[in-house]
Structure 1
Amino acid sequence: MTRRPDPVTPRLLRRHPLPTASGGKRQRGSVLVVGGSRRTPGAAALTGLAALRVGAGRLTLAMAESVSPAVAVSFPEAGVVGLPEDADGSPLGDCADTLLAEDADAIVIGPGLTDIDQTTALLQGLLPRLSADTTVALDAFALGALANHPELAKPVAGRLLLTPNSTEVELLLGQAPKDDATGARDTARRFDAVVCCGGVVAGPDGLVEVREGGPGLGTSGSGDVLVGAAGGLLARGASPQTAGMWATWLHNAAGERIARQAGPIGFLARELADGLRHQLTAT
């Protein structure tokens, strides 16, 4: 029987402090976001925006080369790398050498990727070659690839963070868990990872739950903001457990704050990303 998760409060967060936000951008960490097909470059951009909003020092977006120039112009704070793509606009999987050249402290893979085979090939080529100091967050199609090939997690075991929804947890486990807490715990154990799902964060330091952020969080791009916040905190040097807990808290608290100001639904994921910094300084 899964015990009730401990509630996440500001007091608990203070017992898991984030790395000091001092020094230049190199000291605050470099995050690489790999995602964004021709149809969905915005997912990678939202992820990167969230990473910067929680204090990451340097951002690189790697996405389909056909859309990379437009994103580079619209997002001047990011470095943008164009990746070769297939006829449908999905980045090709054989791009590990290009990505390794970016020398990131944390890598987020998945937002906006649209081809499961190419994503699988990318993970197979990249994860075993990462530095032992590089932390990894997987979302979206990268989670689908992991569900089909669980061995992909082995090279980054212990430094891996996953942000599945309940459907993706079912795929990762091969069966439906009885609740989000059970699903997060069992997924964390299976992949030696920290798992953020439905407000529950599971990992080696236990099982915690963040208060409900409201129905407005159920909007397009909200998950990209969550994984981007986690990736930014990983880049700053937070452990996967600390990054997952803080990212989930900040994401939900930003949703609550916007709902109080503008109503419970109808706000945009980019507003969530912008709200992260307010919650970070207020906690």
Structure 2
Amino acid sequence: MEKKYFVSSAEMKKYDRATINDFQVPSLVLMERAALETVGEIEKRFGKGSRVLVVSGTGNNGGDGIAVGRILMQRGYEVDFVLIGAEEKYSEETRHQLVIIAKYGCTLKSKIESMEYDIIIDALFGIGLSRNVEGIYKKCIETMNSISGFIVSVDIPSGINADTGAVMNAAVKADITVTFAFEKLGHILYPGCEYCGEVLCKDIGITKESFRGEEGPRVYSYADRYREQAAALMPARSRGGNKGTFGKALVIAGSRNMSGACELCARSAYRIGAGMVKVVTPEENREIIQKNLPEALLSTYTDAEKTESWKEFLQDLKESMKWADCIVIGPGIGKSGTASILFKYVVKESAKPLVIDADGLNLLAESEELQELLRTLSLKESRQIIVTPHVAEFARLYGCRPEEVKKDIISKTKELADRLCCTVVCKDARTAVADYMKRDVYLNATGNDGMATAGSGDVLAGIIGGLLTQGVRCREAAEAGVFLHGRLGDLAAERTGRYAVMAGDLTEQLKYILSDEGKRR
């Protein structure tokens, strides 16, 4: 499986130093290669004679920008150079680039004097920015944004925090961002990704060898070629198999007036390849499920406190849990007394792989006893457990505010996984996946805002459950489910537009994304 890394500023600086110090690749060589790659992207879009403004800061990012401007000048572009900042702060490499352009007779300005440019090279700040942008720097960014020209940010838009994607009081709004070696976290996390435009990651000689035998970057995703990845993520499919071969999923979902949750979840488990799906839901949903999803097996119940048949139902549920290869519980079950009893029973009475979603998470957040039981089941009995909270549900489980989760979704997801000893899928505009047995975190780059619609999470729970049912291991099922779920949203948006996407559209796209794509034994 091809991985795409997203590095922090500290990681990138470490790999940069290793390339320079351990492999003896001079810093100025790396700078020249970065400049040449950036120039190549500009030449694809603009011809000779175009007016170019280079806005540089005092650090190495500024040196990159000056080198870009010098090469463009040599290739027939009209270039103005502006450098913002005190001379005593110039890095060695930037000072060297200034000597070079001086020998070519270039004039260096200290402020932007014209608003008439075709191209603006943003090289004011690089990945090391950690403080809010103020004063002349903020004014410079605002001026760059007000020019009607095409903005090219070198490495990252100035004003974006490379680790969090935060806007540090002001930020350049780029048309393209040319970055080097590895993409940065600020390129993918919101709101930073909205300032980057198209991100183009270029090889300048800093490679995986610079990891020096240590573990690689902490955060990764999958490469963008979704059809190849869809095939690689799916479990092998036996031509000689039968419905039992491909696993049995038990979906415990829905409540009165909430039949859609169990239908979406169960249908998604089927569509991702599960051989059999049994739905456990209140009696009120019987006719709807039988009509809309006749393929599913069905078991219904009435409120525990209102029926003498509850014990009989629990016995049937116990048998169903023995029958199943995976259990999904929570979508739309509510928080009634019956839902609570049902949830506790499933957690306590089965050792099968378990996906907990939606109301199941809210019930879990209210019970330290159940959280401790999950830890015990995972550590002592190796039960596979996945929890799939959106940000608000995550905050209730973690014990913090949703804003804190959004601000640090990577670390928070890993911390909750360690606390619960399970795999955690934290759903947001960028979804993170972590578990307690690995240091690294998967950060999903697929999907779009059209998926922010009721029922989308039910579809994801069904997909993950369906993959577990087919024997995919916990962490891999969560990552694959999230990746595929996002791709379904992308396909749905292509067909209907983002405004019109509904949860049911995601499940329907499984027919297309997986057609003839699965690996075969």
Provide the TM-score with structure 2 as the length reference: 0.50
Change (3 A) 1:69 1:101: farther
Gapped runs of 5+ residues in structure 1?
Answer: none
Q: Which residue of 2 aligns with 1:138?
A: 356
Q: Provide the secondary structure at the position in 2 that maps to 1:237.
A: coil
Aligned counterparts, 1:59-138, within 5 A: 59-85=277-303, 95-102=313-320, 103-130=323-350, 132=351, 134-138=352-356
Change (3 A) 1:234 1:138: same
Q: Which residue of 2 aligns with 1:240?
A: 474
Q: Offset of 1:93 from its aligned partner?
A: 10
Give the letter for the 1:279 counterpart: I
Contact persistence 1:94–1:122 (CA under 8 A): no
CA distance in 2, matches of 1:117, 1:152: 20
Q: Which residue of 1 aligns with 2:434?
A: 202
Q: Which residue of 2 aligns with 1:169?
A: 394
Deviates more, 1:168-177 or 1:239-248: 168-177
Match of 1:153 among 374, 377, 381: 374
Change (3 A) 1:4 1:155: closer
Residue 182 in 1 paired to residue 182 in 2?
A: no
Deviates more, 1:59-68 or 1:77-86: 77-86
CA distance in 1, matches of 2:455, 2:230: 28
Contact persistence 1:25–1:58 (CA under 8 A): yes
Change (3 A) 1:273 1:121: same
Q: Provide the secondary structure at the position in 1 that maps to 2:328.
A: strand
Contact persistence 1:124–1:152 (CA under 8 A): no
Give the letter for the 1:138 counterpart: I
Deviates more, 1:25-34 or 1:66-75: 66-75
Q: Deviations over 1:226-259 (max 9, x none)?
A: 0110000010111111110111011100111111
Work out the percentage of aligned pairs sharing the same amino acid: 29
Give the letter for the 2:433 counterpart: V
Deviates more, 1:17-26 or 1:28-37: 17-26
Q: Offset of 1:4 from its aligned partner?
A: 5.5
CA distance in 2, matches of 1:15, 1:256: 17
Q: Which residue of 2 aligns with 1:219?
A: 453
Q: Which runs of 4+ in 1 moved over 4 A?
A: 1-4, 10-17, 92-95
Q: Which residue of 1 aligns with 2:253?
A: 35
CA distance in 2, matches of 1:135, 1:65: 26
Q: Provide the secondary structure at the position in 1 that maps to 2:498.
A: coil
CA distance in 2, matches of 1:154, 1:83: 29
CA distance in 2, matches of 1:18, 1:192: 25
CA distance in 2, matches of 1:66, 1:87: 16
Provide the TM-score with structure 1 as the length reference: 0.89
Change (3 A) 1:66 1:25: same
Contact persistence 2:303–2:338 (CA under 8 A): no
Q: Which has the larger radius of gyration?
A: 2
Q: Provide the secondary structure at the position in 2 that maps to 1:101.
A: helix
Gapped runs of 5+ residues in structure 2?
Answer: 1-7, 9-162, 164-216
Deviates more, 1:181-190 or 1:161-170: 181-190
Q: Offset of 1:155 from its aligned partner?
A: 5.3
Contact persistence 2:305–2:338 (CA under 8 A): no
Contact persistence 1:56–1:235 (CA under 8 A): yes
Q: Which residue of 2 aligns with 1:192?
A: 421
Give the letter for the 2:488 counterpart: A
Q: Provide the secondary structure at the position in 2 that maps to 1:195.
A: strand
CA distance in 1, matches of 2:484, 2:233: 14
Change (3 A) 1:95 1:195: farther
Q: Offset of 1:268 from its aligned partner?
A: 1.4
Deviates more, 1:226-235 or 1:168-177: 168-177
Aligned residues: 278
Q: Which residue of 2 aligns with 1:56?
A: 274
Q: Which residue of 2 aligns with 1:276?
A: 510
Residue 9 in 1 paired to residue 223 in 2?
A: yes
